[in-house]
Structures are given as C-alpha cells and as structure tokens.
Chain A
C-alpha cells in the first residue's frame, strides 16, 4: 500500500448512517497496531508487578485449592471419576480465559476515552488486542495444567486422554475468545450510556460461572435444571475441553451447534453495536 495510491483515493466523512457501516477492512490495515497493543499489555503487566506472569499461575492454583476443599471435600460433589484437582483446573483454565476476555473488553470505551478522543484508529483493535494478550495467560495456565496432568499420570490415575480432539482445540479457543469478545463489546457499547452496567458485569460473570459446569460435572445437574446448562453457550466449550484432556464430559452435537450459533450471533451483534457506538461516543462521555 503505497502513499501514492492512497493519495488518489477520495475519502468521505459522513454522518452516521445505518447499522451496517462496519469498515472492518480498516482493522486489517491496523494489524501492526493490534500486535503492539498486545505487547504493551503484556509488558505493562510484567513490569508493574512483583510476580509478573506468575500471577497467571497463582490465581487458578488458589481457586482450584478452594474448589477442591469446598466442592470436593465439604459438598462432596463427584467429578466423574477424575481427580478433583484436574477436574477443577481444566474448567478454571477455560473459564478464566473467557471471563478475562469479557471483563477486560467490557470497559473498552470508558477506559480508553482519553486516547479515543484524540486520534482515530479502528476502536475494535483495542478489545481484539485484549483478547489476544489474554492468550498468553491462557497458555501459561495450559502448560501448568498439562504438567499436573502428566504428574497425575505418573501417579497412576486413569485419565482418558483423547488425542484426536486436540485438533479441535484451536477452534475451541477461538470460540471462547469470540464469545468473551462478543459479550464484552456489547457491554462496553452499552456502558457508554449506562454506567451502572459495569457493576453488573463483575458479579454477573461470577454468577455465570456457577451456571457453567466448572465446579461440578453437567451429569450431576438435576433434569429440571438441564435446560439452563444447555442454553449456556459456555457449557459445551468446557465439556469439550474436559473431554479432550480428561475423557469425561457430556457432549452432543446439537448442543455444540447451538453454542456455535449463539457465539456467532453474539459476536455479530457486538460488532454492530460497537461500530455504531464508536463513531459518536466521544460526544456522550
């Protein structure tokens, strides 16, 4: 893309028109920026803390310990015959990436009002970079998870690992990212108008976790509540992840299809809302 070719192109700034003015090609032009944002996020986290990336490990370890104690030892909820530590850690790895994406993209506009007010770049590059930089934490946690998995294997635990399903893992991660991003940008678009929504997101995500089979297997859910679990687009994702590495979980194609559909729709609504809001939100902040 040379400067000359740009020079000749006539560009137009117009009032907001319609809902489908998405200009997603801009996002591709600014791909370097997205990667630099990712780098910035990572470096900033790394430089400003004592433990640096270790935080990524500490959080799931502590939560797993608490879960093992509360749900395993006190409530005695069975974990489909898998060692509880592994069971919870698998769920938490998936969930923490998802909730991280959602939480950190949900305040895109409010947090970046300063920079958004001064210079134009595709606003979507900010939440996108957040989702990508979240992968770093995810992979660190994945590594720990696999280490624990190998450890348990040597201890003689019977774990039904499904190597073929690893191929589907990238798709699974993509779906988590898309779902987190979708919800996050919907919330961030709405928070420009309703600031009180931010309060809701924090504990909403917390509650959502309990509606997802993280601390319990979906097989333990009573029949009359199964529909809640089935409607939750995160359910098949978590179950797929567990099935891949631990060989447990309830998967059915219909549910997977439904959750994929939900993901696409939510992401689509999110992008439309976000593109609509990004054009004029500076006037309302």
Chain B
C-alpha cells in the first residue's frame, strides 16, 4: 500500500457543451431577481422546452468512473483516441481543473509538462526564463540555482544563455524548456506529447532522461500518440476509451490491444434502406477488406469496402468516394468509373461490393474519414453520405520520428533522395 503514489478513485469530470453563459450579466441578474420574488424566470422560455433547464443534453462526461493506482517508480503510458479523456485526466492530476466527483490521492510533488515552455517570455533571456519557468513549475530559487548548470548543459545553450529566447531557434527553445522540466525532480512527472518536438537526437536524449527519472524511483505518466515510444518506454499502460478505463496492463499488450481494436463503431457504417434508387448498404475500412479496423499502421494498405444495391438497371451512374482529413481537408476523390469506364454504360440490378486500396505508406499518421456519393458524371451527384473513419498510426516506421511541422502533413510517401556530390 505504501508503494502506491497515485490513487485515482471513481473520478468523474463533467463538461457542459456549447457556450456556458452566452447571455449578459443583466439577464442573469434578471433571472436571479425573478427567482428571488418567486416568479418565473423571464429568460427560461427556450430551455424550458426540454423539460429540465439543465438537461443531460448539453452535458458531457469527459471522465466516467475512472479508477486506477500507480506505484512508485512506475512509467505508465496513457493512450486513447482523441477525446478519450486523456487530457482531462492530466488536467485534473496537474490541478489545472478539479474533478466533478471522486478524488485523487497522491504522495509528493506532481509536475506536468503539458506543453514545454509554458510561461516562457520571449523578451527574457535564457537565464531569466530558466528561473521563471522553474518557479512556475514549482521550484524554489535555490533549487533552480543548484541545478542551473546542469540544465544549461542538458539544453546545450551555454553560448546563448544571456540572449533573449525570442532569438532562439525552435530547437534550442524546446531543449531549454524540456531541460528545466526534466531537472525539476518531482516525485511524479506528467509528460504530454513533449516528444513531438525537437530533432531525433534530442528525442532520444529526452527518452533517456525519462527512463533515468523512472529508475530514480520517480513516477512518470506519459501521454502520447506515439505507440512505439509508449511501448519502449513504459512498463504499464492505461487505455482510455470514451472517458472510461478500457484496460490497464503491461504496455506491450495494451498497445497491441489498442491497435487491433478493429471493431470500433466508426470504422464501419450501415445505411438505411431505400427501395427505388441505388443505395448504399454498408461500408467499412480495414486492412484485409474482410473485417473493419479503425486503426491502421502506416505500413499497411487501407482497404475500403462499400456494399450497394441497384434495384433496377441503371445507366450513366458512378460511385464516388471522397477522402477527408480530420480537419476537413478534402484530400482526394475517386470514382469507380475512373479506371473502369465500362461501368458507366449499364449497371444491372443486384447487390454489389466494391473494394479499393489506398496503398501502404501513403497517408501520413493522423485521422481521416470518407464519404460516399453516387450520381451521373458532370450532371449531378446524389446523396453524399458519411462513410467510415480511420486512423493511421506510426509503429516502428520511418515516420515515427516525425515531428514539428511534419505533424500535420497528409502524405507520408517514402521517397528516396538520390544524392550525389557535384565536382564543379
């Protein structure tokens, strides 16, 4: 029992959706005044339609009954899709916000690296920022002074220590910021995606430092989308799914479970029945084109499958698929008649299944979704329908070390650069 440094018990966190108070103070005072006199709230007409003013509709549980324990010296990875509640959990642990229900008991100091360089002021020098940043993270002046040389050493910025950080390169900036945080020596360190920045060599150094921290008997909570890093760094991992703890086990098996969790609802779409026209029945993405899988490795092809029904023979019809990024960038459109124009002539009545592959090593790590439509080329497009969504992840590939500006790219084509020296 004495070994447990973090004990999370039945943690719930509720967020309200939309704007919380889009009305002005005058309206709030009006409502309050009305309630004081026991009259009906003049501003409640709209919300009273949903029987209860603060109905469940505009509420959202980011964390639901989350409980787990972390032992001293554990390096535990926290993984999950976007919106699974990872950030909320970290925010509660780092005391940025409070839980709605439940409690967390911990021993020692918790320091978080929610984002490196928090509180850095561009006008201040590296030296001044070390002190400021250190203090923000909870260090006293003497403590920072003791570790100052070590931090500067680690960040490799000796020469520029008295230069305002606005003149630093982004690499130097990150190194300095991570340096401060890494030398904080808290009992519990929370790391969120810091490794997404800096060059590969520096990333290795950070990983090393984190491993070291773990060996010192300190505890590290590591949140990342980089499955390779989680697997190699952490002993244990926690998978969050829609605000609930899905599984907590040794890192390798959790990562495997997460990656193979193919039956996620969004990887597959069912469509409603429509008797007269051509209509879609089901669509999904996967690796083999047999079963849906929503998380696909960069090195696997993405198979897209669509079942549709043609009730009566149709002419001049094509099936179209659009590919979108999670940020709604329209990446490409492909149609079944592109390469097989003969389909355009006549499509007999019956059930059809189409399948095509996006080749491996094409889409960059990230989330994507599809939409389908059918129509007559150059005349009209009918019924654009949501299709399945999927996520490309980078496990042990050349893209695993991608960082910075490359984080948001859409393509990951493995291009060989041919380099030769010119003797001019």
0 or 1 for each of B359-392: is its CB under 8 Å from A? (1 = yes): 0000000000000000000000000000000000
Q: Contact check, B96 vs A116: say whether CB atoms are below 8 A apart.
A: yes
How many chain A residues touch the partner (CB < 8 A)? 41
- A5 CB, min distance to chain B CBs, angstroms: 10
CA of A269 to CA of B187 in the docked complex: distance in angstroms? 35
Docked CA distance A118–B137 (Å): 10
Q: Is the CB of A13 within 8 A of B104?
A: yes
**Cβ contacts A108-121/B at 8 Å (1 or 0 each):** 00000001111111
Known contacts A8-B107, A13-B98; A36/B132 CB under 8 A: yes
Binds B, one of A42-50, A53-61, A234-242: A42-50
Tell me, rounded to whole Å, the shortest Cβ–Cβ distance linking B100 to chain A.
Answer: 6
* Pair A196/B132 contact, Cβ less than 8 Å: no
Q: What is the minimal beta-carbon distance from A256 to any residue of chain B, in angstroms?
A: 33
Q: Does A284 sit at the interface, judged by CB under 8 A?
A: yes
Contact A115 B123, beta carbon cutoff 8 Å: no
Q: Does A7 contact B (CB under 8 A)?
A: yes
Report the minimum CB–CB distance from B182 to chain A (whole Å). Answer: 15
- Give the distance in Å from the alpha carbon of A116 to the alpha carbon of B94 in the complex: 11
User: Contacts A48-B123, A193-B21, A194-B21; is A13 near B136 (CB within 8 Å)?
Assistant: no
The verdict on B115 contacting chain A, using a C-beta distance below 8 Å, is yes
Q: A15-B100, A32-B141, A119-B118 are in contact. Are A6 and B136 (CB under 8 A)?
A: no
Q: How far is the CA of A36 from the CA of B114 in the complex (A)?
A: 21
The answer, yes or no, to whether B103 is at the interface (CB within 8 Å) is: yes
| Residue in A15, A116, A284 whose CB lies within 8 Å of B20 | A284
Give Cα A13–Cα B112 distance, bound, in whole angstroms.
15
Interface: B124 (CB within 8 A): yes
Whether A11 and B107, one on each chain, are in contact in the complex, defined by CB atoms closer than 8 angstroms, is yes
Task: Count chain A CB atoms within 10 A of each CB in B24, B93, B114, B119 and give the residue with the most.
Answer: B119
Q: Which residues of B contact A13 (CB under 8 A)?
A: 92-93, 95, 98-99, 103-106
Interface residues of B toward A: which range? 35 or more
Contacts of A47 in B (CB 8 A): 123, 164
* A27 CB–B CB distance under 8 Å: no
Partner of B137, one of A9, A37, A48, A119: A119
Residues of B80-94 at the interface with A, using a CB-CB cut-off of 8 Å, are 91-94
User: B341 an interface residue at 8 Å Cβ cutoff?
Assistant: no
Distance of A208 Cα from B135 Cα, bound (Å) = 37
Please state if B98 and A15 are interface contacts (CB–CB under 8 Å).
yes
The answer, yes or no, to whether A159 is at the interface (CB within 8 Å) is no
Chain A contacts with B in 190-239, Cβ cutoff 8 A: 190, 193-194, 196-197
In the assembled complex, how far is the CB of residue B217 from the closest CB belonging to chain A, in whole angstroms? 10
1/0 contact trace for B94-138 toward A, CB 8 Å?
111111111111111100101100110101100010011001111
A interface footprint on B133-159 (CB within 8 Å = 1, 0 otherwise):
001111011000000000000000000
Q: Which 10 A-B pairs have the closest CB atoms?
A: A120-B95, A33-B135, A13-B104, A118-B114, A194-B25, A32-B141, A118-B118, A47-B123, A282-B97, A279-B98
- List 11 A-B residue pairs with CB atoms under 8 Å apart, sorted by A's residue number: A11-B105, A12-B106, A13-B98, A43-B128, A116-B96, A118-B118, A119-B136, A193-B21, A196-B24, A283-B97, A284-B21
Name 4 extra pairs, CB < 8 A, besides A193-B25, A282-B96: A15-B102, A36-B135, A40-B124, A196-B25
Binding site for A on B (CB under 8 A): 15-16, 20-21, 24-25, 28, 91-109, 112, 114-115, 118-119, 121, 123-124, 128, 131-132, 135-138, 140-141, 164, 185, 187
